[in-house]
Structure 1
């Protein structure tokens, strides 16, 4: 090979090698650059918070106070023992329409009252109703009061007894347009598998059954009430006789569902006792699904300050427990209940243990934010017990809906207050942050109370996402 040819071959080879290296470098660079250089496309879902339009408000009342077996020849017959005084009203911009729910199986009564209210524009109606009953007879004596409430698919009755002397009747009202199949699941103080039973409540009717039908001999029942087909309103009417003497009556509302934090307002200690068998103030508890550690802290109703150390109790799932608070000094209290798993709770209280006394159950008071309307049924010396449920100071406004002076109630963080109310009056309560409240009554041989419930015909705001 000549020298010029050799030079050309070497030069060409060098160019080929260099070109290959450069091409490889370019390809590698392009590959590495693809994920960094190419634009990425991301899409954040559109989000909007929507408050559903309020629906009609339905309020069902317990109706006449019932007695079982007053006629010895018809021991299973339910009859009317007392006719309640009824109060209803509405804040400006809302109105109530009255109606009736047919009573089934009652010898001398045909209907219980109910109310319907259309929303005020897109907001729920500000309406309320309540009733009270006084009875003085050889077999029944005392005072009972309760608020008229909307129906629900699930509720819990924490109260009553299936023992001798107790005459407790569970009433279930269906104000809807279709029949409801109602299941009772009954828990007791011995635990074990709960007893279940079922009834069908036709549309527009109220059915009543003796509590002892499923809880005979049980001193501390708790009843879960579930419904399919239509929501129902469950209420317990209780009466008690000791050694042939009547010692009180009560109308008790249901609890919506178990919770890990709740507060029992309007709890009275009236008769000191350290004997659990003769307790005058006690809290009944149930952890329906899982074992629970529960702390119960009494608080002064007038200030919200804690009273003594909290009581600790261990609950076995499905077994009803009770805690005695009769050692409290006479007065009005709240009892805060916190637990490691959801529980239901209610407080029992009595004015005494002999003839002429009365008793009442107090259920947890729900949180209220904004405006709500509540009715104060006729009764002795009504008071409002209000508790600040938030960690910041707040001021609550209270005024009669028919006109009258507005009261401003200043509540420090965690604080509480008691306010004198006027019987047979409908009030508006406005709270900028969460509070709880209850109405209480007290006189010689008369004791009752019920929580103040928020206007709840409006569904909670929901977040809607578009993907």
Structure 2
């Protein structure tokens, strides 16, 4: 190749390279310039936030304590063993209207009490009711107290037994205006489930003997699921040992399985080293998955930990139990922490002979803001408070009818007990999450129930216009 030809080739190659570089730069500049130079068009849909109007608050009470089969010729016949004293109250301008829930199959044309309260503006009425009763008979004896509760679509009963000496009845109330289709799913200590169904007519309370689905089962748990209308589930329990009555109870249902919660108002009275006859014990079920559960007792007066925690491993769908009979006499809370959602309730008794009484305590839900709770008449009622938050708080307790309010300071995780007056309705106000339960204790008398938050107003809904 000649020197002139080489020069042309080099020059041509240089022009090509330079052209490629210029072209690449132009393309890159165009790509960068497009989003920077072109205008953007944005459209924000018009929207409005609306708070739905709250509906009526419906409260259903357990009603009279029922005796099953007192007439030997009618073993399935229910009769009234004791009628309750009911206390009700409303805060502010709210008011409660009485309703009656018919009880088919019960002698003397009985009805369970209930209440209805219209909302105040867009907020549910701040109302509460509770009942208590004392049974004194050859076949039934003891004291029972329970709160009147709104219905729900799902609930759990953790308590009772289907063994000899136990006479336990599920109470299923439908305070609404349409029928409720109810499905019962029974769990036991051996695993497996049994299901049954029931239609509960509107404005009625139906009864189902617990033994119907849990015959021979010493530790049943029952899931109650409703469609068509929500129902209020409760359990009426009684126990006989060697022909002597040793207590009665009316137990509220649990809303749902949880991983972390607390059982408040648990009273240790007498000790027992026998797991089959524990004086204080916790029944547990993990319905859907194997779980490891840790239970830590706390002193009710200040929330301090008592002893070492106990750990139990649960098989999914199989009921378990933990014995706390070694606790010294006193009032306690038991914190429950699990690796999977569980349901639990605490059993407590004053003894094992004639003249004794027992009670079940279910988890106390968290409360923030203001709620109302009723204290039924009974022996030495106390409010057991627990701070469920990691910051200090002050709780206000005040009678709705007027009178001196009480302020209770709680450190993070701390607890307190407050003496209450029976047959009185109170408001409880806290800026942070707390738990509370009402507990009764006397000679041969034991009862209690958790304080539930007032029905929350319907959450605001944001509506967008396309």
TM-score band, normalised by shorter chain:
over 0.9
Match of 1:438 in 2: 437
1:92 has 2:92 as partner? yes
Query: Do structure 1's residue 52 and structure 2's residue 52 form an aligned pair?
Result: yes
Return the alpha-carbon distance in structure 2 between the equivalents of residues 259 and 21 of structure 1: 67
Measured in 1, the distance between the counterparts of 2:285 and 2:21 equals 80
Question: Residue 23 and residue 271 in structure 1: after superposition, are their counterparts in 2 closer, same or farther (change >3 A)?
Answer: closer
Q: Which moved further from structure 2: 43-52 or 26-35?
A: 43-52
C-alpha distance in structure 1 between counterparts of 2:374 and 2:187, whole Å = 32
Show the counterpart of 2:8: none
For residues 136 and 52 of structure 1, do their structure 2 counterparts lie closer, same or farther at Cα, with a shift above 3 Å needed? same
RMSD of aligned Cα (Å): 2.2
Which residue of structure 1 lines up, in the alignment, with residue 222 of structure 2?
223
Q: Does 1:159 align with 2:181?
A: no
Give the CA deviation at 1:38.
3.9
Write the distance in 1 (CA, Å) between the matches of 2:164 and 2:442.
27
User: Is 1:146 matched up with 2:146?
Assistant: yes
Query: Could you report, residue by residue, the CA deviation over 1:415-461 in whole angstroms, capped at 9, with x for unpaired residues?
Result: 11000000101111111111110001111110000001111152345
1: CA distance between counterparts of 2:27 and 2:127? 75
Q: 1:204 Cα shift? A: 1.2
Superposed, which structure 2 residues align to 1:242-261 within 5 Å? 242-261=241-260
Q: How does 1:197-346 map to 2 (within 5 A)?
A: 197-346=196-345
Deviation sequence 1:120-172 (CA, Å, 0-9, x none) = 12222111100001011000000000000000000000000000000000010
Secondary structure, aligned partner of 2:55: coil
- What residue in structure 1 maps to residue 125 of structure 2? 125
Q: How does 1:39-78 map to 2 (within 5 A)?
A: 39=38, 40-41=40-41, 51-78=51-78
Cα distance change, pair 265–31 in 1 and its aligned pair in 2 (3 A): same
CA contact (8 A) 1:380 1:443 kept: yes
CA deviation profile, 1:305-334 (whole Å, cap 9, x unmatched): 000111000000000000000000110000
Measure the CA separation in 1 of the matches of 2:305 and 2:461. Answer: 37
Question: Which residue of the partner structure matches residue 390 of structure 1?
Answer: 389
DSSP-derived class of the 1:149 partner: coil
* Partner SS, residue 344 of structure 2: strand
Are the aligned partners of 1:119 and 1:125 in contact in 2 as well (CA < 8 Å)? yes
Q: 2:155–2:223: 8 Å Cα contact kept in structure 1?
A: yes
Deviates further, 331-340 or 266-275: 266-275
Comparing 53-62 with 21-30, greater Cα deviation is found at: 21-30
Rounded to whole Å, the distance in 1 between the matches of 2:109 and 2:219 is 30
Per-residue displacement from partner, 1:198-249 (whole Å, max 9, x unpaired)?
Answer: 0101111111011001100000000000001000001100000000000000
Task: Tell me the residue number matched to 2:409.
Answer: 410
Q: SS at 1:219's partner residue?
A: coil
Distance in structure 2 (CA, Å) of the matches to 1:36 and 1:122:
48
Question: Is there any run of 5+ residues in structure 1 with no aligned partner, and where?
Answer: 1-12
* Change in CA separation of 1:308 and 1:50 when aligned onto 2, cut-off 3 Å: farther
Q: 1:449 to 1:35 in 2, by over 3 A?
A: same
- 1:403 and 1:27 map into 2 onto residues whose CA distance is 82
User: Distance between the aligned counterparts of 1:58 and 1:320, measured in 2?
Assistant: 32
- Normalising by structure 2, we get a TM-score of 0.93
Q: Which residue of 1 aligns with 2:398?
A: 399
Aligned to 1:189: 189
| 1:338 aligned counterpart, secondary structure | strand
TM-score normalised by the chain length of structure 1: 0.92
Q: What is the deviation of 1:46?
A: 7.5
